[in-house]
Amino acid sequence: MFTVKNEFTLTESRETLVVGIFEKTTSFEGLLGEVNTALGDTLASLVKEGDVSAKKGAISKIHTLGKLETKRIYFVGLGKENDYNFEVVRSAFGKLVKAAQKAKVESLDIALDSFITDKVESVDVAHALGEAAPLATYKFADYKQKSNEPAKELSAITVFTNGDQVEVEAALTVGFAYGTGTNSARTLVNTPGNMLTATDLANYAVELAGTYNLEYEVLEKAEMEKLGMGALLAVNKGSVEPPKMIVLKYQGKEEWTDVIGLIGKGITYDSGGYSIKPKDGLVGMKSDMGGAAAVLGAMEIIGQLKPEQNVVAVIPATDNMISGEAFKPDDVITSMSGKTIEILNTDAEGRLALADAVTYAKQHGANYLVDVATLTGGVIVALGNKITGAMTNNEELFEKLLEASNEVGEMIWRLPITDYVKERVRKSNVADMNNSPGRDGHAIFAGAFIGEFVENTPWVHLDIAGTATTSAEYDLGPAGATGVMSRTLAAFVERFGEEE
């Protein structure tokens, strides 16, 4: 999709040229000066009259009317230079490629240096472009009848820069990997539950392993029974679909040590079981495997970029259905760890699946754990739809993950685990703990429940129930699945071993 060139001239014939412009530009220098001269010194008046806007995120398109070999110029508003940063330019590129896609533009020539400042270097701009291009143009291949007419799509972006060509190409490649990995996660979440069963999810993971030379393991129901995975198996009891425990391993070091465990909730559809959801709550529950999708998206990015870090991904996969064999409130089950659980709510099933997955990840040598799950409606009540809830038992690990989330622009906010919360989770007359202490503090209870199985292993819990999907189009994507946390997890793994 990307080509990088050092030589640039306005006399070259091209479909489009893209130039960045800041607010309060008092004089047009460099490329802007050349464009202004070629247009007969009209750029200042175009800006003054609003035909070209330098406001943050504004996309202005003008036709050159034969005054240049370029037919059209897209001016990308970057706002005030003092407020300019990576997120601003990535968002701007998202709006640019959306506008180009809508106009059925098939190629863009981008003057990369017009987006560079002292604070935002060429590699930052290139990464932002590489990431924004696939994210903003993502479309889910739906199941509507299709026209035979081939659609025109943005397929070629040429980047012109005076900077180091190799470094810019590398940054574009990294950004593109982040974008495409996230899009893969989006597609998984957007896929209907009848087309993405636990078996389908396992097959996808195996294909991913083959593409990126990852080790893999898929446990079947009989193997889970031998290993005593009673928590995951309880969730599966009402289903006609067999459960899968999916494991992917990426080894970036010579020895299998210092291993990060990424755990993703893979409930491919959640009816709530006998604690059935209301009818409106059932719609959208195909997205309850958003944590698994985030982990698989991250593993795709990791597989492409090959960081020097060891990673094991563990995904407990099943649906949560109702039948004569389904588990029910008042049941007592035994998890893989040996801890017993009193079931008070069958709709609190994700934490059960994650309990066995966490235990299994530790058996695979995970020294650090990060679990990702569309776990609770309570986190939406607490934090809304733009912020992922987080919990931890280790300050240093949390700070590393927080830094990664800030780097990629996926906000997380920490919730507490107190002795009172632990006591509520452990309260049961018949078992070691219960799976649903109450609606008050629901998101916190869910995370603390998982923490009981993590024990002393450094761990961060991420509840993406509010952020896994969006109801509205935004700069970096359409309505639907967001692929949230794929990039955060990948950046976390990439940066994990770096010196402070």
Percent of the chain clearing pLDDT 70 (strictly above): 98
For 217-239, the DSSP string reads: EEE-HHHHHHHT-HHHHHHHTT-
pLDDT of residue 32: 85
Residues near 210 by beta carbon (within 8 Å), at least 6 away in sequence:
none
Residue with the larger pLDDT of the pair 309 and 1: 309
Q: Which residue has the tokens 């994650």?
A: 354
* Residue 152 reports pLDDT greater than 80: no
State how beta strands 156-160 and 459-463 pair: unpaired
Of 473, 416, 408, 481, give the one whose Cα is nearest residue 445. Answer: 416
Cα–Cα distance for residue pair 98/272, rounded to 1 Å: 38
**How would you write 258-308 as a 3-class SS string?**
CEEEEEECEEEEECCCCCCCCHHHHCCHHHHHHHHHHHHHHHHHHHHHCCC
Cα–Cα distance for residue pair 3/274, rounded to 1 Å: 55
pTM tops 0.85: yes
Residue with the larger pLDDT of the pair 68 and 352: 352
- Cα–Cα distance list, 210 to 246, 252, 270, 307 (Å): 14, 16, 29, 18
pLDDT of residue 28: 80
Residue with the larger pLDDT of the pair 6 and 370: 370
Of 204, 205, 270, 285, give the one whose Cα is nearest residue 235. Answer: 270
The per-residue pLDDT for range 436-482, each reduced to its tens digit, is 999 999 999 999 999 999 999 999 999 999 999 999 999 999 999 99
51 assigned binding-site residue: no
Q: How many residues does the chain have?
A: 500
pLDDT band at 145 (very low <50, low <70, confident <90, very high): confident
The per-residue pLDDT for range 308-338, each reduced to its tens digit, is 999 999 999 999 999 999 999 999 999 999 9
Between CA 127 and CA 133, with CA 132 as vertex, the angle to 5 degrees is: 105
Q: Which two tokens stand for residue 23?
A: 């607010």
Cα–Cα distance for residue pair 129/76, rounded to 1 Å: 13
356 assigned binding-site residue: no
Q: Which two tokens stand for residue 411?
A: 């906000």
Residue with the larger pLDDT of the pair 149 and 317: 317
109 assigned binding-site residue: no
CATH class of 2-144+155-161: alpha beta
The ranges assigned to domains in the chain are 2-144+155-161, 178-495
Q: State which H helix or E strand residue 24 sits in.
A: none
Q: Rounding to the nearest 10 degrees, give the CA dihedral for residues 235, 237, 240, 246.
A: 50
106 assigned binding-site residue: no
CATH fold of 178-495:
Aminopeptidase (3.40.630)
* Residue 341 reports pLDDT greater than 70: yes
Please state the rounded mean pLDDT for residues 54-69. Answer: 92
Name the residue type at position 275: S
pLDDT band at 500 (very low <50, low <70, confident <90, very high): very low
DSSP, collapsed to helix, strand or coil, labels residue 266 as strand
Q: Which residue has the tokens 């202005």?
A: 60
- b/e 107-128 (16+ beta carbons within 10 angstroms → b): ebbbbbbbbbbeebebbbbbbb
Average pLDDT of every residue of the chain: 95
Residues near 326 by beta carbon (within 8 Å), at least 6 away in sequence:
237, 238, 273, 274, 346
- 364, 247 contact by CB (below 8 A): yes
Q: Which two tokens stand for residue 71?
A: 């037919």
The per-residue pLDDT for range 357-373, each reduced to its tens digit, is 999 999 999 999 999 99
Total Cβ atoms within 10 A of residue 440: 9
For 186-197, the DSSP string reads: HHHHHS-GGGS-
* Residue 99 reports pLDDT greater than 60: yes
- 232, 292 contact by CB (below 8 A): no
* Residue 149 reports pLDDT greater than 70: no
Task: For residue 281, count CB atoms less than 10 angstroms from its CB and return exposed for 0-12, middle for 13-18, buried for 19 or more.
Answer: middle
Cα–Cα distance for residue pair 494/408, rounded to 1 Å: 12
DSSP, collapsed to helix, strand or coil, labels residue 148 as coil
pLDDT of residue 249: 98
* Residue 415 reports pLDDT greater than 50: yes
265 assigned binding-site residue: yes
Please state the rounded mean pLDDT for residues 186-204. Answer: 98
The per-residue pLDDT for range 28-55, each reduced to its tens digit, is 888 888 888 888 888 888 988 889 999 9
Q: State which H helix or E strand residue 312 sits in.
A: strand 310-320
Which residues have a catalytic role annotated? 277, 351
DSSP, collapsed to helix, strand or coil, labels residue 404 as helix
For 41-104, the DSSP string reads: S-HHHHHHTTSS--STT-EEEEE-TTSSSEEEEEEEE---GGG--HHHHHHHHHHHHHHHHHTT
